[in-house]
Amino acid sequence: MFQTADVKAASLYKWSKVSTTGLESVAYGNGVYVGVTSAGKLAVSDDLLTWEALDVSALSLRSFAFVTFVNGKFFAGTYRGDSVPETSPKAFVLISDDGRHWTAGTGATNYSNYAFSTVAYGNGNYLLSSSNGGDLLKSPDGVSWTNISGTGALGRISDLQYLNGGFIGLTTADYVTSNIVTSANGTSWTTNTSGIGSNLNRLYSDGSLVLAGGSQGKIYKSPQGSDIPTIEASISGDLMNGTAYAANFVSFAFGAGQYMAVSSNNGVVAFSNNGLQWSTTSLSSASLRTAFFKDGTFFICSRDGVYKRVPASRPVIVTGAVTDITSDSVVIEGEVTSVGSDPVTERGVVYGTVPDPTTSDAKAVAGLSAEAGTFSATLNGLDENTVYYARAYAVNEVGVSYGSEISFTTLEPNRIPSAGNLSVSVTSGTYFEGELPGSDLDGDALTYTITSQGTQGTVSQSQAGSGAFTYTPELGAIGSDSFTYTVTDGKSVPVAGTVLVTILPSGAAGLTALQLQSVSLAPDFDPDILSYSATVANSVYSTTVTATVYGSGAKLLVNGLPYNGESIGLEVGANVITVSALAQDGVTEKQYRIEIEREEESLPASPTPEATPSPEASSTPEASPTPSPTVAPNPSASPTAAGIKVVIGNVPQELSATVRVNEQNGRTQAVIEVDNDKVIQGLIENKQNVLIEYPASADSVVVELNGQLVKLLEARQSTLQIVTDKAVYNLPANLLRIDEISSSLGNPQLLSDIKFSIELGSAAPADEQALKASAGKQAYTLLGPAIDFNIKAIYNGQSVNINRFNAYAERSIILPQGMDGSKITTAVVLNSDGTVSHIPTRVSVVNGRYTAAINSLTNSTYALVWKSATAYLDTERRWSRQDIEEMDSRYVLEGTGNDRFEPQRAISRAEYAAAVVRAFGLRAEGVSGTGKPASFTDVSGTAWYANPVSVAAGYGLLTGYENGAFQPDSPISRAEAAVVLARALKLANLEAASSEAAVQTELSKFKDGASVPAFARDAAALGVQLNLLRGEAGYLNLKAGVTREETAALLNRALKAAGLI
């Protein structure tokens, strides 16, 4: 029966595989190891780790069964070799002194059927035993062998040794029981012990005892000197994993005071201090073959490699700090300072409510790392306010190690903070400062976050996370608002609260600035002075108010009514205008009173006859130009003797032009020929605009310059200004399109060969007659002479009329000295059919003479007219009256019949297109590729709106629908109207907002700004920016239609915003 042995604990060691060479039998001698591999081949090694295969095929092709070292020689015996051809090398045993060089044994008979088991030496002879019942073989030198007749009767001999002066062998006949046989000479044998209940495999002797190992887990021991081995101890098979054949001991080794036995199955390894009591352990290999003690430790050769016994150790673990203690969790750190002899397979923290917890108690497993290092483990699900004991642990193949024990106490549970609701009031135009109403019973520090802004105001915190807040209503906002916030103590999820805000109407109102057009107030405006007076000339028949209102949501009232920039008529004599700021509360009002005295009309002075032109200022018609007389240089900007003044920037250019005056059919024409080279030089030096002035009287003035100068003007982004006694032409050089003109003239090699002729002067008599005829039909009065503006480019007998521009060019008509221009309504252009159309006109007084600045996209004949506004029966009390009268007198909008305007009727798409075309003075002559109304499937060429719709489409103001229709009779929406208007304003260089942020800024001023259709966002933002779109009650309502009076207001505001009227 198994007994506890006094051996070193197996847990202190482990087996390490040091070679993968599979071996059946291994022997050691003369400093070298010789083995039989699993394939039955020979191999040699110096250290059991690295093996070298030996080629002995020249001696034998048999597989080898064993190798042993006896009497200074290695012997390698073979298995039976029936399958090896007789002609092949088939030596039954090989002999070697060094393990590397081998000789074949000879002389035995009938050995072809032998399977040899071992070699022993004694009394001068070597004996070679057979494991299949054959005769023993004997040899005096280990090379030449003879049969020992009759020894086959001993049975199968598994092992043979020479001990105590004789041979001892292990035999069996049935592989179940064994006999121990002895012989003094190897010839005569005696059975000494029989019927042993185990099939013995191997003998071992160390000089003090003999061990015999066998099947069924049996190990037998006999003293070395005993003649007859006695059974002194055995190991029960039941202790070898409970099976009869659990262990089959086949090899022994001794070292460091211990015996080791290895089993060929189940990987059993047994240790003993005395050969009598044994302890067992297990090795993963199931087929162990040979045991050795070498270099202070044991080695085992097996069929799957060589194993070395090495010290075994558990990990070394340290318990670290305790952090993040809560009511139900904690974090504990640990460190594996050494993994021990094997990789760590698990690590973490064990814990419990009693000391010395183990892995059988609760544990928190940390992330695995086979290497040494720190880790942390989170213990969850703990009981609140409870003492716990914990220690770090680590596990490897040898076992589990624990660090030192620590203890900790969980906290009381955290109480969640509360976030109350708060109601506050604030007056519009001010702000409110307060504290968010969060609280925490634990006294924890709280962090606040604003989670949503109000819809009518913004809220900010004094600093991030603070409960101190400031709420600021939007300008003009009143009513209810709210915002939300959350509060957290950093230990629980945030809790939400709401702040309700009541925005009270502001009672603040007043003016910070006040101006009246053409009116000088006395005293100068002061917000605290409420009464003013002024006197204006008779020529000032109307004024407009410009005022800045302060006070959130305050409104501007003029004469008690909302004011949107309309003109206010002034009667001769006393006029009273009240300008008020009405506070948001609708009660508080601050009123300013202005008394204006308009002077009586005075009779104009008798005109002074014009002086007779001097000889230098005129010439008689000649076939060729007459050279101008020489004029002394004059550093001032006064006209030269020839009557010409050329100025670049502020620098006069002397002798830079000549003039010739022609007369034909009673009309005089002054032709100014520019010295292109001098002007080019001056332009290069000054890089400024160019002024050419001819103040002498002439029916028309023609300025001639070449294409090279025009190109330089264009490159310098310069404007050419031509001033005569009748008109002024401000012509940006880029409008002359020099490259396009050059191409149409065949691209002359030199731009200087192209001559530009710019003419401005009195209209031809035929055009004057046409204007007079139209005056009676279109109910206007001509004021002053009509003026022609024409440009043409000439090269090599070809000429190109430049009669359209891609942007507005400003030209001015100067009324004759002494003529009253206060009644100028607008300028008109003479159309090819004899009718006239409105052209945007702005009237001012320059050097005592009325001057009308006309902005047009075309060259043609222009005249100034006065037209009284129609007194419509249904507009007298309308807010839009001034806008309607303004647009009516300019031929932009007209009544619907019976002295009515129908201001509140929705305007159609066709009507709106026509109104925009008229307002901006757009003409078919200025559009490339017009006259194609059929491009819209529902616009007939005979319809009254065919031409304006065509013109509007030609200028890119409208595009119609995807199906090709225009839908002329459908109402136009405010969004569509804003888009058309924005495109028209682009002709006057008024662009929409340049970024989405700028667009958002403008649209956010209205409650429905976020819902503006994408196609209209830029246009709507421009309308808001220019104060064209003012909305109603804080809404733009861009989906609604546009009325006729709203159209009048839009167009009037747009023309003024663009500086066109």
Predicted pLDDT of residue 643:
73
> Residue 595: which of 540, 530, 549 has the closest Cα?
530
The C-alpha atoms of residue 268 and residue 254 are separated, in whole angstroms, by: 17
The whole-number pLDDT of residue 50 equals 96
Cis peptide upstream of residue 357 (ω within 30 degrees of 0): no
Averaged pLDDT, 810-828:
86
> DSSP characters for 709-757?
HHHHHHHTT-EEEEEESSEEEEEEGGGG-HHHHHHHTT--S-GGG-EEE
Name residues whose C-beta falls within 8 Å of residue 982's C-beta, 6 or more positions apart in sequence: 992, 1018, 1019, 1022, 1023
At residue 45, the pLDDT reads 97
Indicate if the pLDDT at residue 17 is higher than 80: yes
> How would residue 5 be classed by pLDDT, with cut points 50, 70 and 90?
very low
**Run of H or E including 14:** strand 13-19
- As separate numbers, helices (DSSP H) first and strands (DSSP E) second, the chain gives 11, 70
Residue 810 pairs in a beta bridge with: 730, 855
Q: Which DSSP string corresponds to 985-1020?
A: HHTTT-PPPSSHHHHHHHHTTSTTGGGS-GGGHHHH
Domain 511-598 has CATH 2.30.29: no
Output 238 or 144, whichever has higher pLDDT.
144
Query: Strand 826-830 and strand 861-866: pairing?
Result: antiparallel
Identify the pLDDT of residue 609.
39
pLDDT tops 70 at residue 406: yes
Residue-wise pLDDT for 32-61, tens only, equals 999 999 888 999 999 999 999 999 999 988
Binned at pLDDT 50, 70 and 90, residue 443 comes out as confident
| Residue range 845-893, pLDDT digits in tens | 888 788 999 998 888 899 999 888 888 999 988 999 999 999 999 889 9
What span, in angstroms and rounded, lies between the C-alpha atoms of 819 and 835? 25
Domain ranges of the chain: 8-235+291-311, 316-409, 418-504, 511-598, 645-866, 872-1058
Pairing of strands 400-402, 387-395: antiparallel
pLDDT at 237: 35
pLDDT, tens only, 124-137:
999 999 888 788 99
Q: Which of 444, 430, 454 is nearest to 505 (CA)?
A: 430
Q: Nearest 5°: phi and psi at 992?
A: -70, 170
1000-1055 tens-digit pLDDT = 889 999 999 999 999 999 999 999 999 999 988 889 999 989 999 999 999 999 99
Q: How confident is the model at residue 415 (pLDDT cuts 50, 70, 90)?
A: confident
The chain-wide mean pLDDT, for the chain, equals 85
Is the pLDDT reported for residue 110 higher than 70?
no
| Euclidean distance between CA atoms 619 and 74, whole angstroms | 146
Local confidence band at 909 (pLDDT 50, 70, 90 cut-offs): very high
pLDDT at 706: 94
- Among candidates 242, 401, 271, 270, which has minimal Cα distance to 337? 401
* Spatial contact of 419 and 454, defined as CB atoms under 8 Å apart: no
Q: Collect all residues with Cβ–Cβ distance below 8 Å to 92 and sequence separation of at least 6.
A: 60, 62, 77, 78, 81, 105, 108, 111, 112, 114, 116
Question: Do the strands 432-435 and 468-473 form a parallel or antiparallel pair, or are they unpaired?
Answer: antiparallel
Confidence of residue 613 (pLDDT cuts 50, 70, 90): very low
Sheet holding 23-29, edge to edge: 23-29, 32-37, 42-45, 52-53
- What residues have CB less than 8 Å from 622, skipping those under 6 apart? 660
Q: How far is CA 135 from CA 80, 84, 157, 179, 187, in A?
A: 14, 21, 10, 17, 10
Q: Lowest mean pLDDT: which of 88-97, 235-244, 371-380, 683-692?
A: 235-244
Q: What is the pLDDT of residue 229?
A: 45
The C-alpha angle with vertex 133 and arms to 130 and 138, in degrees rounded to 5, equals 45
**What integer pLDDT is reported at residue 157 of this predicted model?**
92
**What is the reported pLDDT for 193?**
67
Alpha carbon of 769 to those of 588, 626, 683, 995: distances in Å?
60, 34, 42, 52
Separation of alpha carbons 902 and 1047, rounded Å: 12
Please say whether the dihedral angle defined by the alpha carbons of residues 1033, 1038, 1043 and 1046, taken in this order, is positive or negative.
Answer: positive
Q: Looking at residue 100, what is its pLDDT?
A: 96
| pLDDT band per the 50, 70, 90 thresholds, residue 993 | low
Residue 633 has pLDDT above 60, yes or no: no
Of 211-215, 427-431, 1027-1031, the one with minimum mean pLDDT is: 211-215
Sign of the torsion formed by the C-alpha atoms of 528, 529, 531 and 534: negative
Please tell me the predicted confidence (pLDDT) of residue 241: 34
Looking at residues 241-253, what average pLDDT do you find? 67
Residue 73 CB neighbours (<10 A):
21
279 vs 260: CA distance, rounded Å: 10
CA angle 612, 613, 618 (to 5 degrees): 145
Percent of the chain scoring above 70 in pLDDT: 89
For 553-563, b where at least 16 C-beta lie within 10 A, e where not — what string?
bbbbbbeeeeb
- DSSP string for residues in 473-531: EPTT--EEEEEEEEEE-SSS--EEEEEEEEEEPP---EEEEEEETTB--BS---TT--E
Whether 418-504 and 511-598 share one fold: the answer is yes
Q: Are 650 and 687 in contact (CB under 8 A)?
A: no
- Cα–Cα distance, 857 to 519 (Å, whole number): 33
**974 or 611: which leads in pLDDT:** 974
Nearest to 347 by CA among 323, 379, 320, 377: 377
Helices (H), 924-1005: 946-954, 974-986, 996-1003
Q: What is the pLDDT of residue 793?
A: 95
User: Alpha-carbon distance 913 to 928, whole Å?
Assistant: 18
Where residue 994 falls among pLDDT bands split at 50, 70, 90? low
- Give the fold, CATH level 3, of 316-409: Immunoglobulin-like (2.60.40)
- Percent of the chain's residues with pLDDT above 90: 51
Residue length of the chain: 1061
The amino acid occupying position 899 is D
Q: Residue 683: is its pLDDT beyond 70?
A: yes
Q: For the residues 297-305, what does the mean pLDDT come to? A: 94
Would you place residue 641 in the very low, low, confident or very high pLDDT band (cuts 50, 70, 90)? very low
Give the other-Cβ count within 10 Å of 431's Cβ: 14
SS (H, E, C) 593-641: EEEEEECCCCCCCCCCCCCCCCHHHCCCCCCCCCCCCCCCCCCCCCCCC
Task: Assign domain 8-235+291-311 to its CATH superfamily.
Answer: YVTN repeat-like/Quinoprotein amine dehydrogenase (2.130.10.10)
> Looking at residue 306, what is its pLDDT?
95
Phi-psi domain of 140 (left: phi exceeds 0; alpha: psi -120 through 50; beta: other): alpha
Which two structure tokens, joined as six digits, stand for 904? Answer: 């509140």
Residues with Cβ within 8 Å of 587's Cβ and at least 6 positions away in sequence, in order, are 507
* C-alpha torsion sign, points 923, 926, 930, 931: positive
| Integer CA distances (angstroms), 638 to 186, 511, 634, 653, in order | 155, 47, 8, 11
pLDDT band at 405 (very low <50, low <70, confident <90, very high): very high
Q: Half-sphere exposure of 792 toward its Cβ, with a 13 Å CA cutoff?
A: 11
The set of residues, in sequence order, having a beta carbon less than 8 Å from that of 228 and lying 6+ positions away, is 192, 193
| pLDDT average, residue stretch 763-789 | 88
Name the residue with higher pLDDT: 699 or 196.
699
**Phi then psi for 541, rounded to 5 degrees?**
-100, -5
Q: Beta strands 700-706 and 667-674: pairing type? A: parallel
User: Phi first, then psi: what are they for 282, rounded to 5°?
Assistant: -135, 145
For the chain, give the longest Cα–Cα distance: 177
Taking the CB of residue 188, how many other CB atoms lie within 10 A of it? Answer: 11
Q: Which CATH class is domain 418-504?
A: mainly beta
Per residue in 457-481, pLDDT (tens digit) is 999 999 999 999 999 999 888 899 9
Spatial distance between the Cα atoms of 554 and 505, rounded to a whole number of angstroms: 10
Whether 195 has a pLDDT exceeding 80, the answer reads: no
* Lowest-pLDDT choice from 175-179, 203-207, 673-677, 984-988: 175-179
φ, ψ for residue 1053, nearest 5 deg: -65, -40
C-beta of residue 392 within 8 angstroms of C-beta of residue 470: no
Tokens 């001056």 label which residue? 682
